[in-house]
Amino acid sequence: MGTRLELHEELCTILGSRNVYFQPPESIRMQYPCIVYNPAYVNIQRADNKAYRVSDKYNVQFITKEADDTTYHDILKHFETCSFDRYFRADGLHHYTISLYY
């Protein structure tokens, strides 16, 4: 797996813009559509009493004003170790939440 900055660049490429935010502070004004991601968990696989694989889990949200925007499909297709969690609508925005190991 790569670094968080490599993940950030991949998400920017998928979205087609720099509207990708890692742990954005409340003071930032986001531009839509956008991707917001945060760390969620660290998965450690062990064998022979040693950690041999460490992967970070991120909660990724694709947020858009357009109900028909399917960019979240592109995220799901691009990464092998991800899954769709849920959809919700808040403040007139559509939120698609994905769990992603990277």
pLDDT tens digits along 5-30: 999 999 999 999 999 999 999 999 99
57-68 b/e (C-beta count within 10 Å ≥ 16 → b): bbebbbbbeeee
Phi, psi dihedrals of residue 34, rounded to the nearest 5°: -150, 170
DSSP 91: T
CA 100 – CA 82 distance, rounded (Å): 4
- What does the domain layout of the chain look like in residue ranges? 4-101
pLDDT at 98: 98
Mean pLDDT, to the nearest integer, of 75-88?
Answer: 96
Model pTM greater than 0.85? yes
Highest CATH level, class, for 4-101: alpha beta
Does the pLDDT at position 1 exceed 80?
Answer: no
How does the average pLDDT of the chain come out, rounded? 95
For residue 72, count CB atoms less than 10 angstroms from its CB and return exposed for 0-12, middle for 13-18, buried for 19 or more: buried
